[in-house]
Amino acid sequence: MSESKRYESGLVVENRGHVRVLTLDRPERRNALSTDVQADLVEELLDAAEGGTVRALVLTGNGPAFCAGFDLKEIRAQDERGERFRPPMGRPGRSIFEVVTETPIPVVAALQGHAVAGGFELALACDLRVAAPGIKLGLPEATIGMGANFGSVVLPKRIPMGIALEMLLVGEYVSSEDAERWGLVNRIVDTDDVLPTALALAEKIAGNAPISVRRMKETAVKGVELPLWQALRLDVGPNPYLSEDRREGIAAYLEKRRPEWRGR
């Protein structure tokens, strides 16, 4: 059984057991990230991390595009009103990309359509990416005078520097097949199978010991650039070795039954 709600911004939230699905539902604007959508996404991500019942997240978009990035019409209207434009990291609220990256709950992006500009950055912030064949991915910010702040930092950490710089400086799109070859996309499946595949991955994650999953994600994300000796001694999040779930998991394995995780 699932339960859902819809924000006025166009964000749809659906809870399917321990999996929360966040859907950008502004197809007429190619799911552009308005200020309100960003705020609602941040709220849902923080709630999921604090609530204790959500164990995996799926982020997707409704319509032919996953997300076209920031809402340029909204930005232009603000410019015409003479409002001050603040860079992404200089705003009162937190960057949506930063929040996605830092949430301790695994996030799976279901890219059924093009993910460009801030939409591509949003996908980059997620942990796993399932994509349709032949969709466009990229950062065209240099062609319109924007900055791709998050992408400029993260993309060179994920793919070879030369390829990252070409994407950033030239501003042309690449295909999902290219992205899969470089390791940016985990799986390419038929368009109709993108969301079901992402949900299946999320459900598998949600079926594992929640403390172990959170610990592994936080250690992997925070330890990736640390020296080995320092990364091995990271102590982030709850400790699975000292949990009730560790005892339950071993007992269930030996007794050949499904474990009953309690998250403690």
What are the residues whose beta carbons fall under 8 Å from the beta carbon of 207, sequence distance 6 or more?
none
Integer Cα distance of 20 and 16 in angstroms: 6
Integer Cα distance of 249 and 229 in angstroms: 28
Q: Tell me if residue 240 falls in helix, strand or coil.
A: helix
Return the active site residues.
Answer: 121, 141
Taking alpha carbons only, the member of 172, 200, 173 closest to residue 186 is 200
